[in-house]
Chains A and B, each alone.
Chain A
Amino acid sequence: VTCVPYQQTVKSSCVAACIVIAEAWRGRAATEAEWHAGAGPKGLPLRTAAALPGTRFLCASDSRDLIVALGQDRIAIATVSGPAWTAWIEGTHPALQSPHGRLAAPGPLGGPLHSIVLCEHSGGAFRAIDPWFPPAGQPLTIDDDDFERVWAGEAVLFER
């Protein structure tokens, strides 16, 4: 079973949308609405996902532990810096457009934060799904160098 992209319906529901993707990968049903209910424009903290069974919260200074975990048949919901992620997307996938508009003004690492799903790591690159964008053309491939420049240092690992 691979990761199947899913697009968030609300601007602030990236964590809920990522949970839908991660739970589907584990063969579990989940809906964005049930997870995002009550969160409103404030969105969900990442630790919400870490409360699910078979998950682990990871906070790291660089991506090496994340790479090892993905190599162990796990997937991850990872936080990325909105400005840095937008800069990477616009630089590498200029055709990607979201009905939600632009995620953030492009810039260096820092807030606001956004969440994506990391499905795999191999050959020095991650395969990532961003629920901000439509499923076509996803997962996206981002190499280790670029990933270090967008990752905000936190992730929730999902095991099957």
Chain B
Amino acid sequence: MSLGASLRSARTKAKLSAEDLAALASITVEQLERFERGELSLTAREVDRCASALGFRLHDLETWTGKEPPLSVLLRDSLGSDFDLADGIALEVHAGLGEFQRTVRDIAELESLLGIKGDRVPQIPRSTESSGGARGEELADRVRKHLELDLEPIPSMRKLIEETLGIAVIWVSAEHLDPSVDGASTNWSRPAIMANLLEANRYPWRARTTLAHELCHVLFDYAQRGTLFSPARRIWPLGGQARGPALPAPLLEIETVARAFSACFLAPTAGVRRAVGKMDPLSEQAIHRVGETYGVGRQVAINRLSKVFHLSREHRSTMESRSPEPYFADFSGDEVAMVDGFRGDPLRSLVRRALVAGKIRPARARQALALGANDPLPFPELGELAAPAIPRSETIRRIAQAVLRERYPDEDLEALRVLEEDGAFRVVIYDGGVGSTEQRRRGHVEITASGEVSDIHLQLPGAAE
């Protein structure tokens, strides 16, 4: 099947209209439809954007047999509904989720090549008689029990998720993902969580909450396979006035449960009671005690106190209206020093391992890290293995060749040799066609170190010599 036919087939399976996919890929509908029919060739960058919108890598389209589920199928599987993805999610969100999905595919593929069995996600019964927040609390208690956490604080959510449960965590920021999304998770092709590190001044509390929230999705929201995203609270406050487009009802219920889960998992009810002891639960001291003990932010601490001690709405407002004072507790295990985006760790480390182990070649490494053949791999310590596939001299030769094609389209000129002189380049030009056994030097093109053509000296055939 051609790439265009695969794309059309995958798009149809994803129930994405040509208009939606064209918008996601920043091309016109006509371009997309002609590409699908094999009448037009798009650039690799354009086809890559189409693939990304489906959660695929470009080479997934090359080998697509109809079995791999596109992103929107995974979302529908999780929600058990047939909502129209294009109506519910902004283009930026969709693009971010697509990138997340294909990063997870890369991680799973590299782990398989390296023989790593990462997934240690436990099967914990998901059925409860409760719903909403009560269900979230019940599930959180089950997980705490399963992990034998009792009422103890969780020193590092990151360690728990990555090392104990083998769930891959991908850190992104507003630079990589629309801020209307807090995070996302999937169990396809392996369990993974994406955490959008917003509001840097709230680290690590925000990251801990997001990780716990996504953990709930991974543990309880995928019957077989699925992907979910978590709308940002400031845009979709549950029970409040949403500032974003209406979310589908199943997602609202799932989110209510996951928000309760994250708070109760980090700060369990009995633990909050024990921590507060005889303090006034309305006091600033109680807020600090809960936050410092369990590593949660002020708002989560207030929410937990309100819930555990059945505080009135007025009491809660009073607590929220007080000027907050910073509290200190060591949850540095959940601080994220650097956010490299989708193609940072854990993917980058896996790429390096696979490369060193000889499981992949540099071209596959570049593909996974979204680099071109002219780019070095980000592992300078690997020497030649990390060097660009196309050396600088060849890039310079192609620049000269392109200039010749543009300025002398009717002349048979070939840029064949590159000489480096004091950081600049001289590309020697010969006449004759490809395969010529009789070539004559016709001059040279001077190119600066930055790749700009600075001078052309040519003696064209037919001109006086």
Nearest residue, chain A, Cβ from B390: A148
Interface size on B, residues (CB 8 A): 51
Asked if A11 and B62 make an inter-chain contact with CB atoms under 8 angstroms apart, the answer reads no
Cα distance, A71 to B405, chains bound together (Å):
26
Cα distance, A44 to B432, chains bound together (Å):
7
A-chain residues with CB within 8 Å of residue B405 when the two chains form the complex: 47, 59
A42-B438 in contact given A62-B390, A111-B414 (Cβ < 8 Å): yes
B-chain residues with CB within 8 Å of residue A61 when the two chains form the complex: 372-374, 390, 395, 398
A59-B430 in contact given A73-B2, A110-B394, A111-B416 (Cβ < 8 Å): no
Asked if A115 and B435 make an inter-chain contact with CB atoms under 8 angstroms apart, the answer reads yes
- Which of B364, B373, B397, B415 gathers most chain A CB within 10 Å? B373
Interface size on A, residues (CB 8 A): 51
Asked if B435 and A109 make an inter-chain contact with CB atoms under 8 angstroms apart, the answer reads no
B-chain residues with CB within 8 Å of residue A47 when the two chains form the complex: 405, 409
A112-B416 in contact given A14-B435, A72-B2 (Cβ < 8 Å): yes
Cα distance, A67 to B58, chains bound together (Å):
10
Expressed in whole angstroms, the minimum distance between the Cβ of B308 and any Cβ of chain A is 56
Q: Which of A107-160 contact B (CB under 8 A)?
A: 108-115, 121-124, 143-145, 148-149, 152-154, 157
Question: Which of A11, A44, A110 touches B437 (beta carbons < 8 Å)?
Answer: A11
Asked if A71 and B2 make an inter-chain contact with CB atoms under 8 angstroms apart, the answer reads yes
Q: Which of B40-70 contact A (CB under 8 A)?
A: 41-45, 47, 58-59, 61-63
Cα distance, A14 to B434, chains bound together (Å):
7
Question: Which of B390, B391, B393, B436 touches A42 (beta carbons < 8 Å)?
Answer: B436
Asked if B2 and A124 make an inter-chain contact with CB atoms under 8 angstroms apart, the answer reads no
Expressed in whole angstroms, the minimum distance between the Cβ of A51 and any Cβ of chain B is 11
Binding site for A on B (CB under 8 A): 2-4, 35, 38, 41-45, 47, 58-59, 61-63, 361-364, 372-374, 389-391, 393-395, 397-398, 401-402, 405, 409, 412, 414-418, 430-439
Closest 5 CB pairs of A and B: A111-B416, A64-B44, A43-B433, A71-B3, A62-B373
User: 25 A-B pairs, CB-CB below 8 angstroms?
Assistant: A40-B438, A43-B436, A47-B405, A59-B398, A59-B402, A62-B373, A63-B373, A64-B44, A68-B47, A69-B41, A71-B2, A71-B3, A72-B35, A111-B415, A111-B430, A112-B435, A112-B436, A124-B363, A143-B363, A144-B363, A145-B362, A145-B363, A148-B363, A152-B398, A153-B401
